[in-house]
Chains A and B, each alone.
Chain A
Amino acid sequence: MKLEKYIALILLTLFVGYEAKAQKEEKVRKVWASGASRSVFQQNNLLLDTDTTTPKKLMSGHTLVDLAINAKPNDQTFLHGMVRIRNDFGGFWGSGVTFDIRQLYVKGLVGEAVRYQLGDMNYKLTPFTFYSNNEELSSHQSAGLSIFRDMVRYDMFYDEDNTWRQQGAAVDFALEFEKGIDELEVNVFSSRNRASDFAQQNDRVFFGGNMTLKQSDLFSLGVNYIDLMDLAGTSKSKNEFHNPVVTGTTKWNYSLKKYDLELNTESGVSRMYELNTAKEELKDFFLDMELSGKHKKTGTTVRFGYTNVGPQFRSVGAQSKRLNFEALNLMYSRYENGQLPRAISQMDVYQDASLYQLRLDPQLQAFSPAYDNVMPYGKATPNRKGFNLEVKRESKNEFYEIVLGGKILSEIVGQGGDDLRNFNTLDGELSLRFDKLMVNRKKPLELSLGYTSSRTERTTSFTEANVDLKSAMLDLGLKVGLSSDFELLANYRSITAQGNELLSVRNLNTEVVDFEAYSTDLVESLVLIGLRYNFSKKNRLDIVWQKMNWEDKKSGNKDYGINQFAIAYNLKF
């Protein structure tokens, strides 16, 4: 950490007195800048007449610039250092300013064959080994709801590739073969999950890699290995945690006259144990298969899959969640005259970066049954088996895109009894781009509709152990181009959840030791209207008004609403 700080200081010093003008690519650049900046202002109003204690009107904002210096002294070496300078709204003459280092890494090439990266990096493997699953409520999100979500994701280094931000080193190289095999690619990495406190906490590292052998365009075979483990001897503790996961992947492609077929499989085993403790070792396996076929003429794609993830399958890199449902919201964290904690709502999920986390956690973290009770840990959710089906079609003139999907899943072993939970989900999305039907209209006119419903049920001989939880999310989005760069955005999102569930209470070894009754009658609705001006593809100004209503008759908390007016200006460079 100290080294990073000094390097950043040196970068900043070197950086003073530097001036760059716009040039074309043919000039070789050794140093250049990149980054992003934004200015956000929000005014919020809590709508709850009976609350005479909580400050109702809140205002906040900030402006920040993430300025990176990139240095490429030669074709084999690249250095990137980024500083975040932020000033909070309301500060004058330097008050409210903070400086921080945002990221620092070097990339290099050895012998024109082996590539390495050292420092901060975004990394992933497969959804069962090392994968950052999208957070709850992130599906069917149209432009309006993405305004703040994109800021949170940017801050937390969540990207569309589902990588995790790590600090460590990575190496990759590839081998070509003259015959028989096209290519063998190797990726290995190692990162530090936790530093030793030199007392009872060991250094914990996360390492692993992937080797993929591509025989041809028709077939490829891969193997993945990851392990989150303590380094023995780095503290006074004798305990050593380990979570190795090994998986194998296959991919088959076959093209028929009318169809393109693809079969992806992944299967593997995991272990989780802690040496020199009384904790039991957990080990299990999983299998995931998906067959997809694309009709060449119509473009319709059908995916059919089967998954079976054992109840004791543990993979920290794949099961760690982005959202921490045990955290307290920053905005109106407590409300009502009794100052009760305000439960996380969809508005908090979209906007509150403090609810998100970057560290991999060996515990199976808390989740919100109302938002996702079926696969809260993504594909690697343990104790699930069943089928999924998805049909997708996009018209050739891009007028519509429709996706319909469903899952029929059940537990593999019962929890607290022999009876199994059944999980059913139905998911649909329809996007209509009316501007594609209008010859003379170049401005967008888009309507989107998304719907997700899920049900969890279990019937047992004890009524107290019965489970019946339904949830649904409806999303309507509208984008109307008012001029070539001006757009009107509108969104309506409704989330409902009714029923009951018995939530597992797990010990530090992630074993179920108890159950907690959960009951909900949740209704959340959010309306958003916004204006957007696009300076360019990457730079835009959004002015947004939104209102959310929340009620849960079973929670004991009072219903409330939140009004929000916000201005957000985002630049990327």
Chain B
Amino acid sequence: MKRIIKHTVSLFCLFGTFSAFAQQIDSAGVRTLETPIKRTNGSSVGVFPKKPDNALYNFKVGGVYRFFSTYSVMKKDYILTEAGNDTALKRTLFIGDDSQLPNLTLNFSGRPDKKTAWGFDLYAFQFLDGNTNVTYGTGQVLPQNRPTVFNPLNGTRLATNLNLQLGINLYGNFDTELGVFGIKTGGIHWTSLSDLTLRAFTGYNRYTLFERNPWDPISPKGSQRYSDYFGQGAINQGVRWGEKAFTGTIVEGSSLPGDLSFKALYGKTELNGGFLSIPNISYGGQVKKATKSGFLAVNSMNSQTYLDSMTSESLGFNIFTGEISKAFKSGIEINGEMGMGRYFSPNHSGKWGEAINLKFNFTKKAVKIPTEIHVFRISDKVINNNAIFFNSSIVEANNAIPAGSVGSSAALVPFASALTPIGQFTNNRQGININSEYELKKFKFSVANGISTEIEGLSNQISYGHPVNQLTRSRLWRWNFPTDVGPYNRYNVIFRDVYELVQVTDSAVAKKFNVIEFQTKYSTKVANRNLYVFWLSRLSSVQDFLSPITVFSEKAYLRHYSHELEMYYSINPKTVITSYLGYESVVANYSTEVDAISKRPRDQRGWGLGLGVDYDIAKNTALYIRHRWFNFEDKSFSRDAFAGKETVIELKFSF
């Protein structure tokens, strides 16, 4: 310290000597924060850089806040896990969303120039669990993990509750003489190719609106969500709808010669996620040619991963398809996709199988009642859990990471003969669906009849879901996706749903499936206010013989009927009263497992009654309240019964 003082004093003395003859830089070269050090030749010394940093002037911050909470009361004990005799709690107050979507999402984006952009999101959870403290980090970090006074960098500190959801995304676009190209890299992008290669199931927009999705946007007007559903047949479900999450690099080209466009992907889907350095990759793409009234395309999606560090045992799948879309002047449209796919692993030879998905759409121009005929056939050798069909035929080799966890190759879908809604299917299946829509005054009808059959009889299990009280049921097991849970260990929890497995006591035969979906939408005014009524029924059966329509007798292994009625009444521009009534019954025959005590097969009844309100507090701000009474019982398997009520509050605003 003495030496420092000594040298500093020397310096100031030197300075003082010169100051008699010196003056500060004059106003012509007045010193600023950015004045270059040297106006002269010679070596530059000191602090760098000498010029100010560049600035980003095109920068945006936006986001969404969503408070979500559920309060449920169970009137009966419901077994969650047989082994641990764990039952659902009588009362549960949960702040947060079981779909693992956060309270606050901030989106940051910048545009360095016209051709490039970057963006990332930041999310934060807030559980209001009473751990109040100076900061969240301090309150929710265990004492032994907190930084010490003398070593503040160690321990758990920033980002305990703070994280990125979709990651950091970089974008670039460039115009060339050949065409327009774009690149996306980095975090999660929502993207799709085709139904059989990369796409999420969207169905025929037959769903209920009473329960909101976390990603549903706020409607500009209170009742717009319901009027859109009535008028357009669909609601705005955000960028995720129909798309799959993909991280890596996506390169797109459009306006190419010959009306060509392409998309190439290299990276990971959720099924490849994880940080092991052993290659685990998905790749694929599409080349599309626009025609006068449609397009032609070639698509491919492939996945490869390894079971060992020496990368000698690989597993994965390939699928290649050709796609056509054409609208004829007669009013007939064809949308079709056909191709070949295979699965390979150390246990499977990797034989190729066919994948066919054809839709013939007869519009109003061609027929009085618009009708679509959908024909499909997916071989049992074809697997692609990134497409609208899922695997129910091949036991996939997996890396022992639990299903639902990032990097798990065990898909979070039912693995059995699955009873699915119209439009969604599994492999090892072929069938035909007929969809029609008709309008009559204030009514809009949509009806569909689906007939399908397995190609090979591989499984003696049937899986099915419960549309009535679907979300309520999934909330019984929060955050996780356990399998073989619930009474009799026959439930499997997946994302925002639970499916149930039933054993067929016959030897495995190729099962046949029938589904009738019927939806009616009605709009009118009551007391000069809009009223929307939606009715949705599904009548399904699984049996060992082919039938043109749903089998309503005991000849079916399983009969599944559900009916849901919703009403939305806009009492003023800001307020909508919502209501819901749902009923379902599931009946199995004696060719399925029977209860040890009652000696009878499944005989399930479930109902739900809901009331709620949507209230627009301000522009881009809305409050949604839902209250539901629910009840379910299996008259044969007596332990499988629950009843109660649930209140859901959602406050959402975007900025």
Could you list which residues of chain A lie within 8 angstroms of chain B, going by C-beta atoms? 1-2, 5, 9, 15-23, 29, 32-35, 37-39, 41, 43, 52-53, 55-61, 63-65, 67-68, 70, 72, 75-76, 78, 80, 85-99, 107-109, 112-113, 115, 117, 121-126, 159, 161, 163, 170, 172-178, 180-190, 198, 207, 209-212, 214, 217, 220, 222, 224-225, 227, 229, 231-232, 249, 251, 253, 264, 483, 485-486, 533, 535-536, 538-539, 541, 567, 569, 571-573
Residues of B within 8 A of A188 (CB): 11
Name, among A123, A175, A189, the residue most crowded by chain B CB atoms within 10 Å (CB to CB). A175
Decide if A94 touches B164 in the complex (CB within 8 Å): yes
| Given A176-B26, A217-B40, 6 extra CB contacts under 8 A | A34-B53, A87-B164, A174-B31, A186-B11, A212-B45, A217-B41
Contact flag A185-B37 (CB < 8 Å), given A94-B164, A99-B158, A176-B22: yes
Decide if B112 touches A5 in the complex (CB within 8 Å): no
Minimum distance in angstroms from A245 CB to a CB of chain B: 13
Minimum distance in angstroms from B157 CB to a CB of chain A: 7
Minimum distance in angstroms from A305 CB to a CB of chain B: 15
- Nearest 10 CB-CB pairings of A with B: A63-B186, A573-B112, A175-B22, A94-B163, A39-B185, A187-B46, A573-B56, A55-B309, A87-B167, A58-B277
Name, among B33, B35, B159, B266, the residue most crowded by chain A CB atoms within 10 Å (CB to CB). B33
Q: For residue A115, which residue of chain B has the nearest CB?
A: B31
Contact indicator per residue, chain B 165-202, by CB within 8 Å of chain A (1) or not (0): 10111101010110000010111100000000000000
Tell me if B30 counts as interface (CB < 8 A to partner A).
yes
Decide if A112 touches B49 in the complex (CB within 8 Å): no
Minimum distance in angstroms from A380 CB to a CB of chain B: 15
Minimum distance in angstroms from B66 CB to a CB of chain A: 16
The number of residue pairs between A and B whose CB atoms lie closer than 8 Å in the complex comes to 314
Decide if A123 touches B46 in the complex (CB within 8 Å): yes
Choose, from B244-252, B359-367, B369-377, B450-458, the stretch at the interface: B244-252
Q: Give which listed residue, A43, A113, A177, contacts B279 with CB less than 8 A.
A: A43
Contact flag A19-B61 (CB < 8 Å), given A63-B168, A92-B188: yes
CA distance A442 to B354 in the complex (A): 51
Decide if A65 touches B168 in the complex (CB within 8 Å): yes
Tell me if B144 counts as interface (CB < 8 A to partner A).
no
Residues of B within 8 A of A185 (CB): 37-38
Q: Give which listed residue, B30, B31, B247, contacts A89 with CB less than 8 A.
A: B247
Decide if B7 touches A486 in the complex (CB within 8 Å): no
Q: Give which listed residue, A39, A43, A180, contacts B186 with CB less than 8 A.
A: A39
Decide if B157 touches A55 in the complex (CB within 8 Å): no
Name, among A95, A117, A227, the residue most crowded by chain B CB atoms within 10 Å (CB to CB). A95
Minimum distance in angstroms from A372 CB to a CB of chain B: 23
Tell me if B142 counts as interface (CB < 8 A to partner A).
no
Decide if A57 touches B311 in the complex (CB within 8 Å): yes
Decide if B112 touches A21 in the complex (CB within 8 Å): no
Q: For residue A174, which residue of chain B has the nearest CB?
A: B25
List B residues 28-86 near A (Cβ within 8 Å). 30-33, 35, 37-49, 53-61
Name, among B3, B31, B35, B165, the residue most crowded by chain A CB atoms within 10 Å (CB to CB). B31
Q: Give which listed residue, A113, A161, A536, A569, contacts B48 with CB less than 8 A.
A: A161
Minimum distance in angstroms from A248 CB to a CB of chain B: 13
Decide if B57 touches A19 in the complex (CB within 8 Å): no
Decide if A212 touches B158 in the complex (CB within 8 Å): no
List B residues 235-288 near A (Cβ within 8 Å). 245, 247-249, 266-268, 270, 272-281
Contact indicator per residue, chain B 100-137, by CB within 8 Å of chain A (1) or not (0): 10000010101011011010101100000000000000
Residues of A within 8 A of B168 (CB): 37, 39, 63-65, 85-87
Decide if A58 touches B278 in the complex (CB within 8 Å): yes
CA distance A34 to B52 in the complex (A): 11
CA distance A188 to B122 in the complex (A): 41
Tell me if B527 counts as interface (CB < 8 A to partner A).
no
Decide if A161 touches B44 in the complex (CB within 8 Å): yes
Tell me if B596 counts as interface (CB < 8 A to partner A).
no
Decide if A159 touches B281 in the complex (CB within 8 Å): no
Q: For residue B185, which residue of chain A has the nearest CB?
A: A39
Minimum distance in angstroms from B609 CB to a CB of chain A: 34
Decide if B170 touches A39 in the complex (CB within 8 Å): yes
Contact flag A99-B162 (CB < 8 Å), given A187-B46, A535-B174: yes
Contact flag A63-B167 (CB < 8 Å), given A75-B33, A113-B25: yes
Residues of B within 8 A of A536 (CB): 112-113, 115-116
CA distance A88 to B55 in the complex (A): 27
CA distance A122 to B1 in the complex (A): 24
Decide if B46 touches A210 in the complex (CB within 8 Å): yes
Choose, from B12-20, B392-400, B418-426, the stretch at the interface: B12-20
Decide if A33 touches B186 in the complex (CB within 8 Å): no
Q: Give which listed residue, B56, B116, B167, B187, contacts A33 with CB less than 8 A.
A: B56
Decide if B58 touches A535 in the complex (CB within 8 Å): no
Decide if A177 touches B22 in the complex (CB within 8 Å): yes
CA distance A125 to B46 in the complex (A): 6
Residues of B within 8 A of A112 (CB): 24, 30-32
Tell me if B23 counts as interface (CB < 8 A to partner A).
yes
Contact flag A124-B18 (CB < 8 Å), given A87-B168, A90-B407, A539-B112: no
Residues of A within 8 A of B276 (CB): 90
CA distance A52 to B177 in the complex (A): 49
Residues of A within 8 A of B618 (CB): none
Residues of A within 8 A of B1 (CB): 231-232
Decide if B42 touches A251 in the complex (CB within 8 Å): yes
Q: Give which listed residue, A32, A182, A210, contacts B40 with CB less than 8 A.
A: A182
Residues of B within 8 A of A41 (CB): 185, 248-249, 266-267
Decide if B47 touches A60 in the complex (CB within 8 Å): no
Decide if A95 touches B406 in the complex (CB within 8 Å): yes
Decide if A56 touches B311 in the complex (CB within 8 Å): yes
Tell me if B153 counts as interface (CB < 8 A to partner A).
yes
Decide if A63 touches B59 in the complex (CB within 8 Å): no
Residues of B within 8 A of A63 (CB): 167-170, 185-187
Q: Give which listed residue, A20, A163, A186, contacts B59 with CB less than 8 A.
A: A20
Contact indicator per residue, chain B 141-164, by CB within 8 Å of chain A (1) or not (0): 000000000101100011100111
Decide if A571 touches B58 in the complex (CB within 8 Å): no
Residues of A within 8 A of B123 (CB): 94
Decide if B163 touches A97 in the complex (CB within 8 Å): yes
CA distance A189 to B247 in the complex (A): 45
Residues of B within 8 A of A68 (CB): 53
CA distance A189 to B47 in the complex (A): 9
Residues of B within 8 A of A569 (CB): 170, 172, 183, 185
Decide if B48 touches A163 in the complex (CB within 8 Å): yes
